[in-house]
Amino acid sequence: MAKIIVDPITRIEGHLRIEAEVKNGKITRAWSSSTMFRGIEKILQGRDPREAWVITQRICGVCTTVHALASIRAVENALGITVPDNARILRNIIIGSQNVQDHIIHFYHLHALDWVDVVSALKADPAKTAKLAQSISDWPKSSAKYFKGIKNKIAAFVKSGQLGIFANAYWGHPTYKLPPEANLMAVAHYLEALNIQREYIRVHALLGGKNPHLQTFLVGGMAVPVDPDSENALNADSIALLLKLQDNVKAFVEKVYLPDILAVAPYYLEWAKIGGGVGNYLSYGDFPGADGKNWFPGGVVINKDLSKAYPLNEKKITEYVTHSWYKYDDESKGLHPAEGVTNPHYTGPKPPYKYLETDKKYSWVKAPRYDDKPMEVGPLARLLVGYASGQKEIVNAVNGFLKKVNAGPEVLFSTLGRTAARAIETLLMVNKTFEWIAELEANMKKGDLQIHDPKWWEPATWPKEAMGYGWHEAPRGGLGHWIKIKDKKIKNYQAIVPTTWNASPRDARGAMGPYEASLVGTPIADPKKPLEILRTVHSFDPCLACAVHVYDAKGNETAAVKVM
């Protein structure tokens, strides 16, 4: 039996360590250990709730809008505030575009290289590559000349020794299955994705101000004015630009991203049976409509049963610290985030160490549970909850995909399923954004320009004490902020980020978290090059919000993978 240690897992946001026992070429047990951002409560206590979002948006840099939004929703929930229709629409557009941009970058920049061998791309025949590309879509960048140019560019990059983002210990791994032409096509698309995302993020500049951090969120609405006749507001020109940006990204998603998934999947079909995980899925729901209902419905799917989505009961969310480096008075019980406490207490081994104490406490991530069950969150969870709820667009999109791959829903509960779900929901959100833009236009036409309701802005209007929570479906899954306001200031604040659900360690019952469960049964061709672990972990799109930008490199200098 071998024990594999992968630390750190690369190409994720944050710090993650996986320990896995391998017997007869398959993972039998796995543990997920990570750091997580602690201290948001400390920083927010005593501050004005109306400014919490400015602070929380800095928790993580990968998608800052999500924490701003969850924070604002928590305050609005606590104070009973409903935002004007235009603010609802603008927020949907911002969320949608954040998800879309994030997913494109995740697939190409963080996940694709698990399936695509860049070095093999250098052996590809550009003419054959052109033929392949043209057979899967009518995306214009598909000539032999184009692919030759890409090949030369990559060759120069590799030759200069500046592998940079292509630096990978696993080139030539036996489980890379794509022919060189598919690899070259994927690498070309990887480069295009970088350009597409930098074009598309102009949406945020349009709606949120020129700075990288959106400036236009506000408790009670938004701060970006909407006025068809004003130069300094969102006007007809802005709408036209928004539509153009949407058109461009839609073309990329339809003609490059989704076709790439469908082109690559047949070579990796066994991954439709690997990486399933806990089989329970949670979505808070999001994208409120004018009728107050969420376009993506919230709910819970249990044990892969797609015939039923259970409605959410907020009180059933708890966090355990049984196997996490925190102190509770009674660690056999989970605590609801409103009673949440974060008392870090490291009892692990002193670095440098070989193993974590996996039968004791082994992670800085708490273990969130719903109804005492581990839950997976993310695009797959959203789609499954939507599917089980009978949400029409989701049902159609998922069934359409299953038809194309000629398979039943069981393939969704896997690493491949998770990866496909991310692409499927990207297209759904891209298309829906056109509707939201149209809603905004319609409001503007009939003279409804309100974007902020100041009724409850002044703290004098607030109750002495208030409690609330803000839920948001971020690119990586369900995000929740819980707030207690007392005497006009923040008294308590807790956040459960999506990756806390997914990267969770075991709970008081010993039930594994999603990463841990999804790794069990994974075949490992070479324990020294556990590419298979990366494929599944990356399918979750980890973001551990570790929030440390410069890591103190005084620790372990040893290699990233150890086999014991």
Partner 1 sequence: MDRNHILILGIGNYLMGDDGIGVHAIEALRKNRMLRGIDIVDGGTKGLELINHFENKKRAIIIDAIDLNRAPGEFILLRGEQITTYLDRIRYSVHEIGLKDLLSTLLLLDMMPDELILIGLQPGKIEAGTTLSNGVKNNLNQLIDRITEIVHA
Residues that bind partner 1 (CB under 8 A): 8, 10-15, 35, 37-40, 42-43, 55, 58-62, 64, 105, 109-110, 153, 157, 162, 164-165, 167, 191, 194-195, 197-198, 201-202, 204, 211-213, 544, 546-554, 560
> At closest approach, how far in Å is the CB of 187 from partner 1?
10
Q: Specify the residue, 109 or 273, whose C-beta has the smaller distance to partner 1.
A: 109
Nearer to partner 1, 195 or 461 (CB): 195
Considering the complex, what minimum distance in angstroms separates the CB of residue 57 from partner 1?
A: 8
Secondary element (H or E) of residue 443: helix 415-445
- Close Cβ partners of 440 (under 8 Å, ≥ 6 residues apart): 86, 89, 90, 93, 226, 234, 239
Radius of gyration of the chain, Cα coordinates, nearest whole angstrom: 23
Q: Kindly state the tokens that stand for 524.
A: 């490992």
Can you tell me the distance from the alpha carbon of 539 to that of 2, in angstroms, rounded to the nearest whole number?
24
Beta bridge partners of 3: 21
Query: Helix H segments across 106-257?
Result: 118-121, 126-136, 144-159, 180-200, 202-208, 236-252
| Residue with Cβ nearer partner 1 (162 or 399) | 162
Sequence-distant contacts of 131-135: CB under 8 A, at least 24 apart:
131/181, 132/181, 132/182, 132/185, 132/263, 133/185, 133/188
Q: Closest separation between CB of residue 553 and partner 1, Å?
A: 5
Q: Compare residues 59 and 79 and give the one whose CB is closer to partner 1.
A: 59
Shortest spacing between CB 543 and partner 1, in angstroms: 9
DSSP letter at 128 equals H
**Minimum separation from the CB atom of position 260 to partner 1 (A):** 18
Whose tokens are 């509960």? That residue is 413
The nearest distance, CB 456 to partner 1, in angstroms, is 27
In angstroms, rounded to a whole number, what is the distance separating the alpha carbons of residues 329 and 105?
A: 42
- Nearest distance from C-beta of residue 16 to partner 1, angstroms: 9
Q: Read off the tokens for 497.
A: 């980020």
Distances, alpha carbon 392 to alpha carbons 193, 297, 497, 534, in Å = 29, 11, 28, 33
Residues 6+ apart with CB under 8 A from 160: none
In angstroms, what is the minimal distance from the CB of 43 to partner 1?
A: 6
* Separation between Cα atoms, residue 363 and residue 69, nearest integer Å: 28
The CB-of-9 to partner 1 minimum distance in angstroms stands at 9
Backbone angles phi, psi at 299, to 5 degrees: 155, -175
Tokens representing residue 96 in the block: 């949608």
- Cα separation of 348 and 329, whole Å? 19
CB of 360 to partner 1, least distance (A): 24
Closest to partner 1 by CB, 427 or 543: 543
86 or 500: CB nearest partner 1: 500
Q: How far is the CB of 403 from partner 1 (least distance, A)?
A: 34
- Report the helix count and the strand count for the chain, using DSSP H and E: 17, 15
Q: Quote the CA–CA distance of 100 and 416 in Å, as a whole number.
A: 19
Nearer to partner 1 among residue 98 and residue 238 (C-beta): 98
Q: Tokens for 549, please give them.
A: 């930008």
Q: How far is CA 281 from the centre of its chain?
A: 14
Cβ 6 to partner 1 shortest distance, Å: 11
What is the number of other CB atoms lying within 10 angstroms of the CB of residue 406? 8
Choose among 190, 165, 168, 183: nearest CA to 120.
183
Q: Quick check: 4 and 524 in contact, CB under 8 A?
A: yes
Nearer to partner 1, 442 or 548 (CB): 548
What whole-number distance in Å separates Cα of residue 104 and Cα of residue 115?
15
